[in-house]
Amino acid sequence: MASVSVTTSQVLAREALQEASRTAGTAPGLLTRLLRGTARAAVAVGRRTAAIVALAAIWEVLPRLDVVDPTFLPPLSQVLVAWWDLLLSGELLDHTQASLVRSLAGCALAIVAAIPLGLLIGWYRPVADFLNPLLELFRNTAALAILPVFVLILGLGETSKVSIILYACAWPILLNTIAAVRGVDPLLVKSARSMGLRPFRLFQKVILPAAVPTIFTGIRLAGAYSILVLVAAEMVGAKAGLGYLINYAQFNFRVPEMYAGILTISVLGLLLNLLLVRLERRFSTWRVSR
């Protein structure tokens, strides 16, 4: 189906081109060039989305041919209808909003907590030596394994959910911040010291700006984690949220709605990542070709 769509667009573009050159006479004018550009763009988009289109096609066809049981994997079109209904009823928006608030809150708190801590650990040897064993222990403990502890101590409410997201997000930010500070080119530090910079100014003018891109990579990872952990966090004692929707739909055997929830969460994760990649690029333009 993917290849079909590509060739169709190519054929359409070619026809449009011929049409255009006929109207414009012999000289290929602006319109022709414009159309040629559009055609090229269409081909490019086609190439990039081919795999997704193929997956969608398989998802649609296999249940219809009874290769897989449509009760457990309904065709994509049914899932999309269920998604549309959820959207129209306003339910989807409520769940998405509940999830986003948790994710963003957890992630934001992680940024606020982990960056200063990471800078401290990266900059002061003694702090690093003291905290390192603890860091090693905790970072090798899966966030989800600690989830029950969070629920036990913080209850079933929002606090435990935001906390577990905070916990999961804090690690990539913390570890990247530490690595960023440690990884600053010693020559730059030497150069700044030769100009008489005292430790605080050195930190502010050299360490911090040099560390920003690596820290941002940590934030981008944290963004992905915040969505990944979300589902698990919302499976316990939640009354709203995409994780809750998925879990609840599965429990009540509303399978298309379950898949609708899964799709929404994937797209949400994708969009968040896209946004953070953009931001990351803005903050590290100087890191090109290094």
Least spacing, CB of residue 184 vs other proteins, in Å? 11
What mask, x for binding other proteins by CB under 8 A, covers residues 161 to 190?
------------------------x-xx-x
Tell me which of 15, 201, 266, 275 binds other proteins, using CB under 8 A. Answer: 201
Q: What minimum distance in Å lies between the beta carbon of 198 and other proteins?
A: 9
Rounded to 5°, angle at Cα 163 from 264 and 149: 110
Residue among 14, 33, 193, 281 that touches other proteins (CB under 8 A): 193
In this chain, which of 31, 192, 263, 279 binds other proteins, going by CB under 8 A?
Answer: 192
Q: What's the rounded Cα separation, in Å, for the pair 271 and 232?
A: 20
Q: CA-CA distance, 85 to 256, in Å (whole number)? A: 11
Rounded CA separation 246/91 (Å): 13
- The reply on whether position 194 binds other proteins by CB under 8 A is yes
**Amino acid making up residue 124:** Y
Burial pattern 232-246, b for ≥16 Cβ within 10 A else e, equals: bbbbbebebbbbbbb
Give the residue carrying structure tokens 């150069």.
191
Within 10 A of 210 (CB to CB), how many other CB atoms are there? 18
Among 58-66, 99-107, 127-135, 197-205, the segment contacting other proteins (CB under 8 A): 197-205
Which member of 206, 229, 233, 245 binds other proteins (CB under 8 A)? Answer: 206
CB 13 within 8 A of CB 38: yes
Query: Exactly one of 191, 252, 253, 275 binds other proteins (CB under 8 A); which one?
Result: 191
- Work out which of 76, 79, 210, 231 binds other proteins, going by CB under 8 A: 210
Q: According to CB under 8 A, which one of 144, 209, 253, 281 is a site residue for other proteins?
A: 209
Considering beta carbons, is residue 173 or 207 the nearer one to other proteins? 207
Task: Using the minimum distance from each CB to other proteins, give the nearer residue, 72 or 286.
Answer: 286
**Which residue, 263, 266, 283, 159, is CA-closest to 219?**
283
Pinpoint the alpha helices (H) of the chain.
Answer: 2-24, 30-64, 76-88, 91-123, 125-139, 143-154, 158-182, 186-194, 199-202, 208-233, 242-251, 255-283
Q: Pick between residue 120 and residue 188 the one whose CB is nearest to other proteins.
A: 188
Binding map of other proteins across residues 259-288, x = CB under 8 A, - = no contact: --------------------------xxxx
Residues binding other proteins (CB under 8 A) = 185, 187-188, 190-197, 201, 205-206, 209-210, 212, 285-290
